[in-house]
Amino acid sequence: MPEILLLAVLWLGTHLGLSLPFLRRRLVALIGEPAFLGFYSLVALASLGALVWGYSWVPRMSYLWLPDPALHWVPKTTMLVACVLLAGGFMVRNPTQVGGRIDSAEAGVAMARGVSRITRHPVQWAVILWAGGHIVANGDAVSVIFFMAFLLLSLCGSMLMDHKKGTQLGAHWQAYAGVTSNLPFLAVLQRRNRVVAAELLGPVLVGCGVYALLYVLHEYYTGALII
């Protein structure tokens, strides 16, 4: 178990560390934006590969709670929502994407469409739901550490992204943030936005298709049979 903990800390530490504004600015000033993005991507892939490799071979001997088939409804439910958010996140322009920008305050408000009305970080929340559901269903310490690393990275990453974009885009970002929320449905509950069913049709259809594919093939790409 110490091995998976070390790899999880490495994964979290490198991602969040390189994302810290003061460190990122210094590295960009030293090597340039393209080189920094290349270095960041290389570190991300290497640390992710190491974490996944570790999870595949570290014995799962210690359990924080025993696996219960009755809990399997949790990932089955959260994964469906996660797939919809994931699909929808790639179906709308979003300033939180890599290289994302807002040309005006009016454009920022207009970009709050589809799943962005629910959360301005749909992909990050897809990962959070995926990780959280699998933590509940597994119960062993190795799985809890593995999936918690992804959950924390996405949760912290969404907040760091808000800070970064707020600094970069100023008033344009504030206009977008004013009609969206990081926490899903918060802007809707606060009546700063509303859900438009027609805009969610595409994400729901594609998300359900992705969910069905992942469900059917789960045993082949993870080795674990869904009960």
Per-residue pLDDT tens over the stretch 166-188: 888 888 899 999 999 999 999 99
pTM of the model: 0.91
Q: What is the per-residue pLDDT for 225?
A: 63
- 131 φ/ψ sector (left φ>0, alpha ψ -120 to 50, else beta): alpha
Distance in angstroms (rounded) separating the CA atoms of residues 129 and 77: 9
Distance in angstroms (rounded) separating the CA atoms of residues 162 and 96: 8
Distance in angstroms (rounded) separating the CA atoms of residues 227 and 220: 14
Q: What is the per-residue pLDDT for 106?
A: 82
Distance in angstroms (rounded) separating the CA atoms of residues 115 and 134: 23
Q: What is the per-residue pLDDT for 177?
A: 92
- Sites in the chain below the pLDDT cut of 50: none
Chain mean position to CA 227: 25
